[in-house]
Structure 1
Amino acid sequence: MPEPLPAGAVGAPGPLPADVTALPPPGASDRPALLRAVATAPAGALLVVELHVPGAEAVPPALRDDLLAEAVHRARAVVGRSDLLAATGAAGFAVLTPTGPVLAYALGERLLAALTQPYRTGGTVLRVQASVGLAEITGAGPEDVLRQADLARRRAVQLGRDRVEWYDAFLEEQLVRRLDLERELPGAVARGELDLVYQPVLGLVDRLPVGTEALLRWRSPVLGTVLPAELLPVAEDLDVVGELEWWALDRACRQLAEWSAHGRQLWMAVNVTTGELTIPDFVQRTGAILAAYGVPPDRLVVEVAEPRIGADLSTVVARLAGLRSLGVRTALDDFRAEHASLAHLRRLPIDLLKVNGRLVDSATETQDALIDVVVSVGDRLGVEVVAEDLESPAQVEGARRAGCRYGQGFALARPATAERVEAYFEEFPSTPR
């Protein structure tokens, strides 16, 4: 992961516009002077800029100083004569501008454009990322304004860098929530706070259950129930996503073994990120879990989200092929049905293709044509289509009419605990056993 550059910068060449301060030497900070300037500013905005360079720890200190000096030189060429440029003692600098928030945002975009151009220094070309946080000066104390701009900067970092984020109260709530998640998540597995719920998958013709999808939940005693959409990005940043996913795979296979012991021939789908799927021993570890619980491999379905495949396509193809060689079935989740996505289908060794219920809404002729194309391609490749996120009877009927064999969603069955899903199965005595 790219590391932030050290604080401060050496003096850059060229004249300094009037009323713009020079940055002190590396490691120093203009924070006291900056706070005094914010306190006396009648209006305007504060921008906090953080710079990041890949492998910063391997870059010699002298080279980093030269790079940051060049960054400051570029910033000076962008800021106006009435703007204040100051070191923050963090990983970059701040700009205090008397302009309103819209013009300040535009200034932040210009800084991004200038700071992220390649740096040629010491015979080396380096690419730098930048994150900019912006806060308005609206009568709050200077410490509060600086804190708000820094919170916005942190949000820019979390969202992938190379962006400007504008502080607002909702942003602060999100950041506080994120910090709470980062604090509480480590050790959640050891503390027994993880849980799985299961959502049945039904045949759309006979409406009989054919399988379930295991869905991860974090039952935090401090934060309440946390869903995967919020949980997984934090887990990835903390590098604990593997621990969570292997726990989920083990627990899902154990539950599948219990249901199989009762004679039910259902599949169990488990979601896996591409990061875990592409580790070298993923297939062997999966096989070991199946063997430990005596689960027939064809009862397990490993799902990977299509938008996450990206540059790992060749490795994902190899891992999915390895799983199929074990007898495990594979699924492509969150299929976008774009031209490139359809092209991927010819390479991916999958058994199930999951499409969103919005494609079968029958709201437009374009959607109708698109789902027809997806089902047709699936038929040619021997891939079964599952319509997921079905939230209304109309979507269920649209999926059936379009030729989707299976369906999943609130309109058919809601996610529930293993005990409740077991009771749900008992309502279908004709389900394959």
Structure 2
Amino acid sequence: MSHARKRIMLAGWLAAALLAGAVWTNAGALAQGQQGSQEPVVLTVLNFLDATGPGTEREIKEIWNAFERNNPDIKIVREDLFLEPFHQKTEAYAAAGRLPDVFYMWPGGRSMTLHTQRLAKDLGPFVEPMRDEFSEAALVPQAGGYLAMIPFGLSSSHVMYVNTALLDSLGLQVPRTYEELKAMVPTLRAAGKEVILMGAQDDWVVQSTLFSMIVGRLVGDEGMDAILAGKARFTDEPFVKALEFYASLFEDGVLSRRIFQTGYNEVNPLFAQGKAPFLIDGDWKVRNFLTDPSTDEALIPPAEQKHIRMTIFPAIPGEVTHNSTSMVQGDGYGINAKIPTGSRKEEAAWRLVQWLTSTEAQRVRMETGSAFPSRKGVTSDRLEPLAQERSQFYGGLTGTYVLDNVLDPKVYVPINVGLQEIGLGISSPRQVAESVQKAFDAWKASQQ
């Protein structure tokens, strides 16, 4: 897909999200009348949820509990997991042929098994009568070549969060180029500050939130397409240059090896406390800094959120794509393909997925900072400053691939591990490139 077409799709998505849209109508009332006195349908759900995240209690109350209250003919048995435990459980369920009725999933990457083995139903026919209620970019086919889930919205896996108040106090400005960022290192070190914080103890973090952006800048989507088509290799100069630039971040003092000892959520209070002026993560990180309705407290209080800016990594020397960040369709929920067509369970599962992608549900996620809406007409006057900042983040940016969304796990896992090895000084960029190419060749051969 050309960059021009991506810009058009992104602009269409953003415009659609701001238009007045269709009003959600719950199909539950009709279904309840039809079900009469039958026993409730039991739906098992595997859900991705950070139990400690701000807004989690509100999501459970206003989305999950509200559905059960309004649909007494359906009983939800929900299993909430987060990060690696969630992914491990999903793969275990898939391998055993025991997937829940409804499950949280990605458009590719960590959910590749669900897509390529068609373990999720094709939601295309279900969504067709209501297609106009969504941005068209949200409904493009996913990794399996069909619509396995309806994304909550667009997601940028790379954001550089900037504490502008901290920069001002040190006489520094938001860098426009990598050279300007590197020049800040002595000043920040002298002040006892890190330069960039990352919670990269889990190996996916660097690849998804930083390196995918670097590859987008230095290799470009066309270059990655050539690698995927076998017309270029990971060992060719562009990809090796991307690995070498990543290695230079540690050599230049822009990144510290301490990022590999920092847990994913452990980084949140460090940034909130001003331990560094920059944090690199995905756009979803916003929710961790907003007010938790259950405590009325925030890691970054609303009055201080005006000092936090969401931007992207500065210009990289030799980049072929400018002003870009790695982007992907957001997450969503799929329905188990084994559920019989036309059954009460299928109707109940679709009713749940409709609700989970409804205007009301997407408004809650927008207000809690967990997702930027894919449905038209989702607006709110309750957004905290940082959530407002997120809603304006995408304007004018070019979207490039997130590697774990376009590569098979057998290929991107060696990248994940290799990035940690480079950062720790265990492997060289050339060695990692060779390892990834070997993994790609083996995976390609297995597909024939």
TM over 0.5: no
Structure index of larger Rg: 1
| TM-score, structure 1 normalization | 0.20
TM-score by length of 2: 0.20
- Whose helix fraction is larger, Structure 1's or Structure 2's? 2
1 or 2, which has the higher strand percentage?
A: 1
